[in-house]
């Protein structure tokens, strides 16, 4: 399952390649050529469409909530932002607000980059022990004490270590995922999540 994010009024460069109706009849070389054209078009049109799996989207979504809470220039209704957790067509409706969110996310990203952060997450109640064992209730309680569940406290030094055991939240985003979302925001003209 994933989060499909479509730009409402994206900046478009070039004509989108049309998917061949005779795809199954095409040679492997012709199919590969189409895939290259489509990849090039997608790269040149970063505000058109973006997709994240739910494990990656949740930390990005929580980063948006944290930025909205901390940045006085952002004034997105929290009820609206909370709807971004679902594939229900919600999102931002204008480029101006997308740019403000992108600015705030860039400040967050720059702060993490100074600390050489490669990935980040939040305590959403699901954890992995790096040794492959299941997380026991007592361990979860210790994690929840340090990182309150569903709070805006971002975890950047992953994995975390408690009593000599390494843990990582199940929902983690890489810095390049955040960069991709920021780039999308700068070119989408507003967005909807399906």
Residue ranges of domains in the chain: 2-118+174-193, 123-170
Nearest to 68 by CA among 95, 96, 94, 102: 102
pLDDT at position 124 is 86
Token pair listed for 194 = 């399906």
pTM equals 0.89
pLDDT at position 113 is 92
pLDDT at position 151 is 63
pLDDT tens series, the chain, 194 aa: 799 999 999 999 999 999 999 999 999 999 999 999 999 999 999 999 999 999 999 999 999 999 999 999 999 999 999 999 999 999 999 999 999 999 999 999 999 999 999 999 988 889 999 999 999 999 999 998 888 886 666 778 889 999 999 999 999 999 999 999 999 999 999 999 99
pLDDT at position 157 is 80
d(CA 83, CA 4): 14
CB 119 within 8 A of CB 172: yes
Nearest to 57 by CA among 180, 171, 151: 171
Place of tokens 């569940």: 149
């Amino acid at each position: 399952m994933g989060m499909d994010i479509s730009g409402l009024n994206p900046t478009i460069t070039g004509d989108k390649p049309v998917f061949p109706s005779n795809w199954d009849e095409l040679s492997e070389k012709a199919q590969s050529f189409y895939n290259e054209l489509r990849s090039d078009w997608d790269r040149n049109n970063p505000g058109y469409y973006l997709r994240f799996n739910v494990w990656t989207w949740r930390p990005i979504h929580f980063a948006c909530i944290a930025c909205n809470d901390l940045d006085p220039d952002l004034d997105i209704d929290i009820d609206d932002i909370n709807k971004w957790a679902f594939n229900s067509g919600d999102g931002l409706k204008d480029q101006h607000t997308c740019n403000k969110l992108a600015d705030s996310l860039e400040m967050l990203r720059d702060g993490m980059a100074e600390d050489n952060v490669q990935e980040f997450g939040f305590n959403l109640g699901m954890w992995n022990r790096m040794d492959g064992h299941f997380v026991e209730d007592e361990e979860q309680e210790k994690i929840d004490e340090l990182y309150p569940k569903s709070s805006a406290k971002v975890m950047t030094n992953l994995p975390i270590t408690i009593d000599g055991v390494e843990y990582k939240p199940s929902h983690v985003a890489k810095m390049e995922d955040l960069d991709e979302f920021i780039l999308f925001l700068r070119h989408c003209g507003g967005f909807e999540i399906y």
